[in-house]
Amino acid sequence: MDKAVDVRVTAALKGDAALLVTRAVCNAVYTRPGRTLHVAPGGSDLNAGTAASPWGTIQHAVDQAQPGDTILVHGGVYNETVQITRSGSAEGGFITLMEAPGETAVIDGAGLVQQPYGTRGLITLSGASYVRVKDFELRNYKSESEFIVVGVLVRGSGERIEIRDNVIHEIEANNPPSRGNANALGIAVYGEETSPIRNVIIDGNELFHLKTGRSEALTVGGNVEGWQITNNLVRDNDFIGIDAIGYYIDGTERDRARQGWIAGNTVRNLSSAGNQALTFQAAAVGIYVDGGRDITIERNTVEANDGGIWLLSERPGKNTSNVVARNNLVRFNRDAGILVGGYDESQSGGAEDVTIINNTLLENNGRDVPGIHSGEFQIGHNAHGIRFLNNILYAGEKGYVITKFSPADSSSIAIGHNLYFTSAGGEHTRWFWIDRNFYNDGRPGGDFEAFRSASGDVGSAVEDPDFRDLAMQDLRPGSNSPAIDSGSDLGPAATGLWDNVMGTRVMGSAIDRGAFEMAD
């Protein structure tokens, strides 16, 4: 019997307000028991589909499914692609496609790409609703052409889709640049029609060893509304990890991934080095919002990638908007830890109405190149209505905690109540603001106070955050940390109810700075 599941999305509204948006993914308890259908190696599609007489292909099973049915795929390797066009219903319940409990069901794509063009998933949901896919291993789906291969693909329109607890690896775009584009994805949800794909849960999946070419490991793009990407492990891939895309088809407001929640994920070890599909300078960013809106990014760990959490729009004249990034741990990324705003004033869009609050950023900007390069936090072009508050920024060798290279108006950027420090001590802390460097070494006219005057920073300090055990990467504030009870409390709509490890967000007389809250 299927029970109700809620997606809870906290989305920032324009200005300083925020809204807690709750969307019921299943707003009823389904009483229809449904059938249990069976697929097993050695079965036959001429059989009855029972445990004693299973079918032989997954495709045949999904073609017979009715609302409320559960398809159990028994242990073995299935060399097929599966297309689901049937739907469950609010009255009858989900169609559930899942691995038989205690067994290992593998869908293997070896040798299945025969066409030069097109897009297909090992599992594709096309115009389907009330469908759940869970517990599979999906692997070895590789393209040597412009054909796009995907682990799980959701497209068209529909609602109430769940993709849970799958292991997806070796999905590869191997088309050489001389023969055109190369794209592959682990999980992709593409809203391409006038009616949206609504209420999608992508939870508990592991995606690794993907060669995605110019695409991403896990993406939600276009007309997709009310979705969550939670508790996934995305690791060891060659381009962007998690992406929420806007202006995907026609550049309209409808064409934006929106009302989304990216929470509790770990994204690590992403690098575009060796990605032959990239003929332009690019970065394998951990979490990327490219034109999406009304999105909360919280309690994620984003580490050892080319970049951390980046918020912008690649489409000129358009923005990522109404985003909150909070209670995240962002560390050891080779480029900026958190970036907001576009890469060029006229060739890209930017970001507006973004709140970045209570994050811990540690030793990002580690790329071995001369000059400033980026920083723990970087402000790009076309950035408006940005709030950067209560964060801990602990820089590495280069010492840059905040950089802003764009000369555009900074009056709508609010910075305050952050802690700044570096691995070489407080005197090595640096900022770059529009056209000049600022150093915390006491030099007249170019010190921290001068930076505060230039940027409007209020209430921040250069102090050792006194992590509990930096060597062991325990980044909770120690008992004497200046982070404790020293933040600016904007209320739970902005700061969230929980810290990075699901502890209560405010436990003392005031909110702590950084991603972790400590009791007094």
Residue 17 pLDDT level (bands cut at 50, 70, 90): very low
Integer Cα distance of 58 and 73 in angstroms? 7
Q: What are 469's two structure tokens?
A: 């055990």
Residue 519 pLDDT level (bands cut at 50, 70, 90): confident
Instruction: Give ranges for CATH 2.160.20 in the chain.
Output: 32-282
Whether 21 shows a pLDDT value over 50: the answer reads no
Q: What is the pLDDT of residue 442?
A: 83
Q: What is the pLDDT of residue 520?
A: 62
Could you tell me if 82 and 71 are in contact, meaning their C-beta atoms sit under 8 angstroms apart? no
**Tens digit of pLDDT for each residue in 470-485?**
999 999 999 999 999 9
Mean pLDDT of the chain, nearest integer: 93
Q: Which of 157-161, 352-356, 403-407 has the lowest mean pLDDT?
A: 403-407
Phi/psi of residue 334, each to 5°? -75, -20
Please give the span between the terminal C-alpha atoms of the chain, in angstroms, as a whole number.
Answer: 45
Residue 370 pLDDT level (bands cut at 50, 70, 90): confident
Residue 368 pLDDT level (bands cut at 50, 70, 90): confident
Distances (CA, A) of 48 to 42, 59, 121: 14, 15, 27
Q: Which of 44-48, 355-359, 404-408, 506-510 has the lowest mean pLDDT?
A: 404-408
Query: Phi-psi region for residue 160, left (φ > 0), alpha (ψ -120 to 50) or beta?
Result: left
**Tens digit of pLDDT for each residue in 451-464?**
999 999 999 999 99
Residue 28 pLDDT level (bands cut at 50, 70, 90): very low
Q: What is the pLDDT of residue 399?
A: 96
Integer Cα distance of 142 and 384 in angstroms? 42
Whether 120 shows a pLDDT value over 70: the answer reads yes
**Tens digit of pLDDT for each residue in 224-233?**
999 999 999 9
3-state secondary structure of 427: helix
Q: What is the pLDDT of residue 32?
A: 59
Q: What is the pLDDT of residue 412?
A: 92
| Mean per-residue pLDDT, 47-56 | 99
Could you tell me if 337 and 365 are in contact, meaning their C-beta atoms sit under 8 angstroms apart? yes
Whether 11 shows a pLDDT value over 50: the answer reads no
Residue count of the chain: 520
| Mean per-residue pLDDT, 18-37 | 53
Position with higher pLDDT, 368 vs 421: 421
Among 347, 292, 254, 326, which Cα is nearest to 516's?
Answer: 326
CB atoms within 10 A of CB 248: 22
| Mean per-residue pLDDT, 101-118 | 97
The architecture in CATH of the region 32-282 reads: 3 Solenoid (2.160)
Alpha-carbon 316 to chain mean position: 22
| Mean per-residue pLDDT, 281-304 | 96
| Mean per-residue pLDDT, 299-311 | 98
Q: What is the pLDDT of residue 225?
A: 98
Q: What is the pLDDT of residue 373?
A: 81
Whether 10 shows a pLDDT value over 70: the answer reads no
Q: 395: which strand partners?
A: 422
